[in-house]
Structure 1
Amino acid sequence: MVIAYIVAGALLYSGGYAPISMWFLPAIGIAFFVAVLQKESLLRRLLYIFLFGIIANGVILHWTSTYVGAVPWLLLTTLETTFLLPLALIFPLQKWRYFAFPSVWVLMEFFESRFPFGGFGWTRIGFSQADSPYKSIASVAGVAGLSFVTVLLALVFHFLTRRKYRTSLTIFGFTSLTVLISMALLPMQGPRTINVLAIQGGVPKLGLEFNARAAQVFHNHLNETYLALKNGKVKPDLIVWPENAVDVDPFTNADVRNAIDVLVSNENIPIILGAVKTFGSHYQNVSILWDPHTGPSSIYIKNHLTPFGEYIPLRSWAKNFSPLVNDVTDFSPGREIQIHRIAGVHVGPVICFDLIDDQLLRKTAIRSDILAVQTNNATFGTSPQSKQQLAIARVRAIEHQKSIVSISTSGVSAFIDNLGNIEQETDLNTSAAIGAKISLQNGTSISDRLGNRVEAVLIFIPTLLWFIVRRMRAK
């Protein structure tokens, strides 16, 4: 019966993420998890937490096995699960330990997002809450605040099952008050706007060899752009192409460079495009602003490279697990933030894996009026990866109070407002163009102003209060 509860809880938890995407399921799953662990020994708690994590993370991250097999997926699932194990130390929950539980959960996500190799915070529970009624919390307390509140909601469910209605109402009332305050603090839409045309050109073939015909990927985006401009009723102020849309170096390939020059100069519209740039014996994943008059005017080099995707850590060890390691040429990371400027509008480029880096996103958002998330999902086929990434982008839009253009080579692409709502969305694995007038926010969200201090408060204050009360009662 205990095993059944753990399995059910893990499956419910995973249901908060695409393809199911029901925001309330993770909290119910955690409530199952809490109920089981309350009466178990430390060893059994560790085993049950490991089982819960393996199932939940395994389901959520199953897309990582697309085209590369089960071994990388199982290794990543196991790594993510190990971060949950310290939760066993605070059970059984009682009195002030209940308040420590969401703090420790946020602490585990803190480490998950930073270690190893820069972290992989994809499964942070806050990223599953883009449709929740309390999502505005992110604008004040970031993703960590969303995770904290979701775990509090799990405790509400737990107390309800134990018929502790007063405690449930107290926690629910506190959470509701916090949500109302965060909603009241949301800024109004800015008076300035920009017309953006985003191009999802498609790829000739999904999979690891999507760029085997890089010229065709480029021409797909070029042709889709001309078609959209011909059929469009409003001339855009900016065109945005995704990551890897130009998967050859436009600085060394004369044909590609000339085609881009002709597009922007004839149409008199700047374009932000994703390209691969040679850098000695390595490559760089870049976002380039191509101006109609000056050509390439600013270049952002992707800061947070994808481990085992764009570079191989521990290469000699990793090749024992996958023969595909030898096919990966290491990319070289950028070290600086670069903001694209178009007629007074500051556009912050975010390339794929950058999206889950809290510090990098905060630095970029503070200097931007709008964020352009350029990504390539072709390597994950038709899996839920793209939808999960879009959910993360929606939470980031709320957190930083910036509208987002999320554009992919093969989908899903979308325009997202600063409240996390999707204004337009493409289908997966299609060629498409979407255009919209986007509101600009040039202020800074409370979450960005507070920075890591909110996370520190969520982690340490409830736990500190627990220790203080415990010592006072001991005396």
Structure 2
Amino acid sequence: MTDRSAPPSPTSPPQADESAGSPRPRPWLPLPVAGCAAALAGLALLFAFPPYDQWWLAPVGVALFAVAVHRRRARVGAGLGALTGLVFFVPLLSWAALEIDAAPWLLLSASQAAFVAALGAAAAYLSPLIDRAPLTWPVWVAVLWVGQEALRSRVPFGGFPWGRLAFSQADSPLLPLAAIGGAPLVSGATALVGGVIAAVLWRLTVAASSHRGQWVAAARAQALPVGALLAAVGAVLLASMAVPQRQPDGPPVTVAIVQGNVPRLGLDFNAQRRAVLDNHVRATEELAQRVGRGEAAQPDLVVWPENSSDIDPIANPDAGALISGAADAIDAPILVGAIVRDPAAAGPYNVGLVWQPGTGPGEMYAKRQPVPFAEYLPLQPVVEPIARWLTGDDVDRVGGFAAGDEPGVLQLGPAAVGDVICFEVAYDGLVRDSVVEGAELLAVQTNNATFNEAEAYQQLAMVRLRAVEHGRESLMASTVGISGFVGVDGQVSDATGFFTQDVPVRTLSLATGRTLATTVGVWPEALLATGALAGLAAAFVLRRRSRTKVIDVNERST
């Protein structure tokens, strides 16, 4: 990564841009300093997310990133962006290497960092447009960031939305914006605040340079533009505070989450699966005994986590009998996380299966977004030899799961439950589909047994955003934790410990109305991403015009 431009100060005379053919102001920071800023940006973003939860560092990270790449050539911006992405994603996704070889974790981190590299190139390319209208800098930062997240959430193989700015803001005053425009609007607002920080620092530094380092005089000279930028932040915060919180309008239901826990050592694969099922059956039966003694409320429905029955309970009579016994004991329908094999399908399904007391299996939701390279192998003839070379026999763990094609709305007693399974909570459309189809509360079934608390808390932060986004009380049910309930304000109740057995019970309220975010769906993201494309197009036109002027001047001089 090289940058031939010398960067003494932001007020230095323009330098010829050989790639664009037009005068280009020198970068604000020397390249080594910009590299440090890019690395610090990645660290700031990392510490904004769980388990650190310093949400205010997200806009700081965006600001550091913005100033690092500004006025750089696109290729240098890409290099700085890759540095930010690697510093951010490698530790954020370190849970992916706990049970498997490090190669898939590092490849996943590098693939996500590549999108941040593209963001760095795009932000650097927009520099002439920003220099022409400096007060628009925060807007361009926001739309570019949302555009990058929109792309990363879709490609390749359905995308991987982990690490979106919105998912760091569960404790932020910006969270209520999710009810208006979902995760994209929260990400955009977070990036906008970061862009304001960058623009204010830039203007004050330029002014201080012209006033010989007198920062007070510089602040006075820049009072109007800096005030306008800070007013934009105030407007965003006021808009967030003014968002009305939609209260559930339906009847109460009592819900139990069964976190059965898993054995850690000493069992082979089949014995492990049976032990996990036994744990959830036993915990449910113990809840029934507590209900009988008046120590716990009678639940209207019970939610077990993903993979609570890896033994197909429909095909295996013993597993089915165990679950039936638990459902009869608690006298309530159980949402069982199960693996179901359909001989007519390309592979097994990862499902949420309703098990009724007295009658057994009923409605079923099949996971619509299996995880590539973990639950199925995309482009198998090409990818399998590479995967075997990288991970040895680990490729045999890929389950070859088939994808479902229907939204997860299941009737459990009095409640229409919107079911999403594990990583699906990160995908905007999958969660929204269940609400549009009539879900009155949201349930996220997950299995965190092969991960750690950091991954569990990162996932719980997504549940918190979804609860606000759709005005639905929600829950996360995990085999080992973290399980808990989430209110429509994003606050968590009855959170369980990690690698413990626990059965929290809580009364929730059903909801039937729609938030604005549910109604408008993908449109806020589409508009913001279109703004990013418009900015790139405008920068292209501006660069072409500058190139033409330089050519005309050169021709006249000769």
Q: Specify if TM > 0.5.
A: yes
Q: Map residues 65-464 of structure 1 onto 2, 5 A cutoff.
A: 65-87=97-119, 88-91=121-124, 92=127, 93-94=130-131, 95=133, 96-162=136-202, 163=204, 165-181=226-242, 183-184=243-244, 186-205=245-264, 213-231=272-290, 232-280=295-343, 282-313=347-378, 314-323=383-392, 324-366=394-436, 367-380=438-451, 382-461=452-531, 464=534
- Offset of 1:273 from its aligned partner? 0.8
Q: Distance in 2 between matches of 1:249 and 1:13?
A: 41
Instruction: Measure the CA separation in 1 of the matches of 2:249 and 2:234.
Output: 32
Aligned partners of 2:139 and 2:195 also within 8 Å: no
- Tell me the amino acid that sits aligned with residue 355 of structure 1: V
Note the alpha carbon deviations across 1:396-416, whole angstroms, 9 max, x for none. 111111111100001111101
CA deviation after TM superposition for structure 1 residue 178, in Å: 2.5
| Counterpart amino acid of residue 319 in structure 1 | R
Could you tell me which of 40, 44, 54 is aligned with 2:72? 40
Classify the secondary structure of the residue corresponding to 1:320: helix
Q: 1:39: how far off?
A: 3.9
| 1:243–1:408 Cα contact (<8 Å) kept | yes
CA distance in 2 between counterparts of 1:40 and 1:390 reads 38
User: Does structure 2 retain, via aligned residues, the 8 Å contact 1:370–1:404?
Assistant: yes
Shift of 1:192: 1.2
Aligned sequence identity (%): 31
Cα distance in 1 between the residues matched to 2:69 and 2:52:
26
Helix, strand or coil: the match of 1:425? coil
What is the CA-CA distance between 1:210 and the residue it aligns to? 7.2
CA distance in 1, matches of 2:421, 2:439: 15
CA distance in 2 between counterparts of 1:461 and 1:160 reads 22
Moved more, 100-109 or 332-341: 332-341
Deviation at 1:462, TM superposition (A): 7.2
Structure 2 CA distance for aligned equivalents of residues 166 and 207 of structure 1: 64
With over 3 angstroms needed to count, the CA separation of the structure-2 counterparts of 1:206 and 1:43, relative to structure 1, is: farther
Most deviating of 222-231 and 303-312: 222-231
Structure 2 unmatched runs, 5+: 1-32, 205-221, 546-558
SS at match of 2:48: coil
Tell me if the contact between 2:66 and 2:123 (Cα under 8 Å) persists in the aligned partners: no
Whole-Å separation in 2 of the counterparts to 1:333 and 1:52: 34
1:219/1:180 Cα in 2 relative to 1: closer, same or farther (>3 Å)? same
| Distance (whole Å) between structure 2 residues aligned to residue 64 and residue 241 of structure 1 | 23
Instruction: Render the CA deviation track for 1:355-413: whole Å, top value 9, x for unaligned.
Output: 12221111112220001110001111x35111111111111111111111100001111
Contact 1:195 1:438 in 2 (8 A): yes
**Aligned-residue offset at 1:167:** 3.3
Task: Provide TM-score, normalisation by structure 1.
Answer: 0.93
- Partners of 2:268 and 2:424 lie apart in 1 by 22
Measure the CA separation in 2 of the matches of 1:199 and 1:207. Answer: 24
One-letter amino acid of the structure 2 residue matched with residue 329 of structure 1:
G
CA RMSD of aligned residues (A): 2.4
Paired residues, number: 470
1:8 paired residue number: 40
For the 8 Å contact 1:249–1:275, the answer to whether it is kept is yes
Offset at residue 125 of structure 1 (A): 1.0
Decide whether the 8 Å contact of 2:475 with 2:484 is kept in 1: yes
1:459 maps to a residue whose letter is A
Aligned-pair distance for 1:207?
12
Amino acid in the other structure paired with 2:488: N
Retained in 1: the 8 A contact 2:178–2:185? yes
After superposing on structure 2, the runs of 4+ consecutive aligned residues of structure 1 that deviate more than 4 Å are 206-212, 461-472
Q: Give how far 1:77 is off.
A: 1.0
Q: For the structure 1 residues 258 and 430, does the alpha-carbon distance in structure 2 shift closer, same or farther, using more than 3 Å as the test?
A: same
**Taking structure 1 as reference, are residues 177 and 335 closer, same or farther at Cα in structure 2, changes over 3 Å only?**
same
Cα distance, 1:311 vs structure 2: 0.8
Q: Tell me how far 1:443 sits from its aligned partner.
A: 1.1
> 1:61 and 1:386 mapped to 2: Cα distance?
12
Question: 1:469 offset after TM fit, Å?
Answer: 12
Q: Is the 8 A contact 1:275 1:288 kept in 2?
A: yes
Shift of 1:337: 2.1
Contact 1:207 1:379 in 2 (8 A): no
Check the 8 A contact 1:304/1:354 in 2, yes or no: yes
Which of 89-98 and 259-268 deviates more?
89-98
The 8 Å contact of residues 283 and 330 in structure 1, kept in 2 or not, is answered as: yes
Q: Is the 8 A contact 1:288 1:296 kept in 2?
A: yes
Give the number of the structure whose alpha-carbon radius of gyration is greater: 2
Partner-residue secondary structure (3-state), 1:330: coil
1:470: how far off? Answer: 11
The secondary structure found in structure 2 opposite 1:378 is coil
Distance 1:410 1:453, change over 3 A: same
Structure 1 contact 310–331 (Cα < 8 Å) conserved: yes
Whole-angstrom CA distance in 2 between matches of 1:296 and 1:316: 39
